[in-house]
Structure 1
Amino acid sequence: MTRIKICGLSTPETLDAAVDAGATHVGLVHYEPSPRHVSLGNAGKLRARVPDHVSTVVLVVDPDEALLAEIVENVRPDILQFHGREAPEAVAVTGAQFGVDTWKAIGLRDAAALDRARTYKGCADRLMFDAPPALLPGGNGEPFDWALLDRADIGMPWGLAGGLRPDNVAEAIRRTGAPLVDVSSGVESAPGVKDIALIHAFCDAVRNA
């Protein structure tokens, strides 16, 4: 079955809803410009609610080593997801240094972006294909041209993000064969405000795809 990541969770109620709905991954954003930003203190409290069978992902943007160390100490994430301009070597060093899996978000504008994505092979544990970067990384609600992934040989684990919603995620899975789907704004009633009914609808749509 396709795995499910609900990203940008910021309250106990919506995190619990994501777990109850069947999410395999829950995402916490630590990036102050984002409406989904959570402090490390709150992220740690949310992390404590996550059961062992669900993975916790912390999304960061161009973090320095000190911030990464603070995140690992206070939140204990299973995965760090990078949404900035982090080089392959930096992603690899982070994973080795802190003993966590690393995911790298890649904005897919054209086929050349796929070639750039492949430079992370052996450095990141998973690529997350998203819409091209906008004002803020992630959670912009914009899909990209899924045809870019047609017959693409990715060569490493990957997931699909960018503009996914309960009403289009099944088509996205059928079209791309995505092994993991990632949603944020597609299950919100307003920027940063998760909707419990939409979270359940999204997870149901993935299961029925």
Structure 2
Amino acid sequence: MTVRVKICGLSTPETVDAAVAAGADYLGFVFVAKSPRFVSIEAASALAARVPPSVLKVALSVDADDAAFDAMVKAIRPDILQLHGAEPPERLLALKARYGIPLMKAIGVAEPGDPEAADIYRDSADLLLFDAKPPKSMAGALPGGNGLAFDWSLIAGHRPDMPWMLSGGLTAENVAEAIRITGAEAVDVSSGVETAPGQKSPELIEAFIKAAKAV
């Protein structure tokens, strides 16, 4: 099976086109104001219009309210809503009832036992994203997109009852090893294809997708 790849945090027409051309399976748009990858509703709508139906659009948010979700859904008609905050299962169920869109829940991993935190989302999420949990020393850090990797052996034997992705500190240089250790069938990258925070590189995007899909 070919590994599926999500390029997250896209914000320019050039990088959206590059990700599509290189074979990305998912494109992520970040609706978190303090992120360097934030896109406005207007910008996201224009970018999403460039994405062919064969590539899934993902709207990423952190503890957003219904008004924010209404705007995201109207703007880009996402195929998946990615929840990267402290949203409880009850919130996911409410969103599913409101929009009927598949939900991806991010789970922070830093130590043994963290992957099991995903178990409470068994009946509410459709897809999981295992990402590096920011260290406590990074006060005010975003819940993801920090370029941090976690110990992949922590999820090497963990098999949730739903599809899942691996994220956190992945690059073209280490993604093959990460897939080998974890058995991930899908990977997500943001900072690993950037030359500076929020500045995606078409060349790095192409290299990452090529490396992941060669496994």
TM tier, smaller: over 0.9
Q: Which amino acid aligns with 1:43?
A: A
Spell out, residue by residue over 1:83-139, the C-alpha distance to the aligned partner (whole angstroms, 9 max, x if none).
111001111221221011110111012232222111101201111000003501221
Alignment of 1:33-48 (within 5 A): 33-48=34-49
User: 2: CA distance between counterparts of 1:78 and 1:34?
Assistant: 22
Task: State the partner residue of 2:203.
Answer: 197
User: Is the partner of 2:187 in helix, strand or coil?
Assistant: strand
Does 2:167 match 1:161? yes
Q: Which amino acid aligns with 1:161?
A: S
Task: State the partner residue of 1:16.
Answer: 17
The farther-off stretch of 5-14 and 146-155 is 146-155
User: 2: CA distance between counterparts of 1:93 and 1:180?
Assistant: 26
Give the paired residue count.
209
* Structure 1: gaps spanning 5 or more residues: none
Q: Which amino acid aligns with 2:180?
A: R
Q: Which amino acid aligns with 1:137?
A: P
User: Is the partner of 2:51 in helix, strand or coil?
Assistant: coil
Task: State the partner residue of 1:50.
Answer: 51
User: 2: CA distance between counterparts of 1:158 and 1:33?
Assistant: 26
What is the Cα deviation at residue 179 of structure 1? 1.1
Task: State the partner residue of 1:143.
Answer: 149
Q: Percent identity?
A: 52
Task: State the partner residue of 1:129.
Answer: 130
With the length of structure 1 as denominator, give the TM-score of the two structures.
Answer: 0.97
User: 1: CA distance between counterparts of 2:61 and 2:15?
Assistant: 20
With the length of structure 2 as denominator, give the TM-score of the two structures.
Answer: 0.95
Task: State the partner residue of 1:109.
Answer: 110
What is the Cα deviation at residue 79 of structure 1? 0.7
Task: State the partner residue of 2:190.
Answer: 184
User: 2: CA distance between counterparts of 1:153 and 1:98?
Assistant: 28
User: 2: CA distance between counterparts of 1:159 and 1:92?
Assistant: 21
Spell out, residue by residue over 1:129-150, the C-alpha distance to the aligned partner (whole angstroms, 9 max, x if none).
0000350122111100101112
User: Is the partner of 2:165 in helix, strand or coil?
Assistant: strand
CA RMSD of aligned residues (A): 1.0
Does 2:89 match 1:88? yes
User: Is the partner of 2:125 in helix, strand or coil?
Assistant: coil
Runs of 4+ in 1 over 4 A off after TM superposition: none
